[in-house]
Amino acid sequence: MKLLLFSLLLGVIGLTLLAAGHSGTTYRYVRWTGNEVVTIQEPAGESLKGEIVIGDDAFLEAEFCEVGSKYICFFSPQYSFAIPKLFDGSAKEWKVREVTFELIEKEVTVSIFGRRLSGLFLIKAPAEATAAGLETGKPSYFLFSPEDGLVGFSSYGARPTYWLEGNIGFGASVTTGGTPKRAH
């Protein structure tokens, strides 16, 4: 009996340590049709390694920009995104890790899930930004707000098909209700 309790205790400690290793902020995005979810899992602590989780079973390692970087970014085999931290729409393109991102449109307004978002930037990531994009030869598109963060994105040239499930997306930079939003 003591051995069983000891084994259970070790298991709980192991799960706690495992969870602590992935304690960065998470952002959930839901597909417009169907029920697929993509989760952006920021790195914990000083690490640059996080995850992009597709559904509940595809865990892709993602590398994020350093906290001191001039950019908010992540790069994974499936999705890659980057934008200057102090983005005001004046730059037409920028290069991060040898990938050139492009501003396609500014002042975009969308209504989604009963919420109206305006002042969004439509950003294009070229096909060569990801291994998946190289296979299709098509770019990905991202809708970004400096206040709300990443609010929607699509892959491989489709219309934006994943939308932010909550109020705060990846890269949000202002405070809401006294809680600072992280801008990695």
In the predicted structure, residue 183 carries a pLDDT above the cut 70: no
The whole-chain average pLDDT of the chain stands at 80
φ and ψ of 129, to 5 deg: -70, -25
CA angle 58, 60, 65 (to 5 degrees): 150
Output 59 or 176, whichever has higher pLDDT: 59
Count CB atoms within 10 A of the CB of residue 114.
Answer: 5
Place of tokens 């294009």: 124
In the predicted structure, residue 142 carries a pLDDT above the cut 60: yes
Q: What is the DSSP string of 7-66?
A: HHHHHHHHHHHHHHHT-S-EEEEEESSSS-EEEEEPPPTT--EEEEEETTTEEEEEEE--
Residue 81's beta-bridge partner residues? 74
Q: Where are the domains of the chain?
A: 24-177
In the predicted structure, residue 99 carries a pLDDT above the cut 90: yes
Q: What is the mean pLDDT of residues 125-134?
A: 88
- Tens-place pLDDT, residues 79-91: 999 999 989 999 9
- Tens-place pLDDT, residues 10-21: 333 333 333 334
Selection from 99, 159, 145 nearest residue 125 by Cα: 99
Q: What CA–CA distances, in Å, run from 148 to 130, 137, 141? A: 25, 30, 17
> Where residue 150 falls among pLDDT bands split at 50, 70, 90?
very high
Instruction: Compute the distance between CA of residue 71 and CA of residue 94 in angstroms, rounded to an integer.
Output: 10
Q: What is the mean pLDDT of residues 144-171?
A: 86
First to last CA, the chain: 47
The percent of residues in the chain predicted with pLDDT above 70, rounded, is 79
Residue 12 has a pLDDT of 32
Q: What is the DSSP string of 127-180?
A: GGGSHHHHHHT--EEEEEETTTEEEEEESTTPPP-EEESSS--TT--SEETTEE
Structure tokens at 44: 């914990």
> Where residue 3 falls among pLDDT bands split at 50, 70, 90?
very low
- Tens-place pLDDT, residues 26-65: 999 998 777 789 999 999 888 899 999 988 888 999 999 9
Instruction: Compute the distance between CA of residue 150 and CA of residue 66 in angstroms, rounded to an integer.
Output: 18
In the predicted structure, residue 9 carries a pLDDT above the cut 80: no
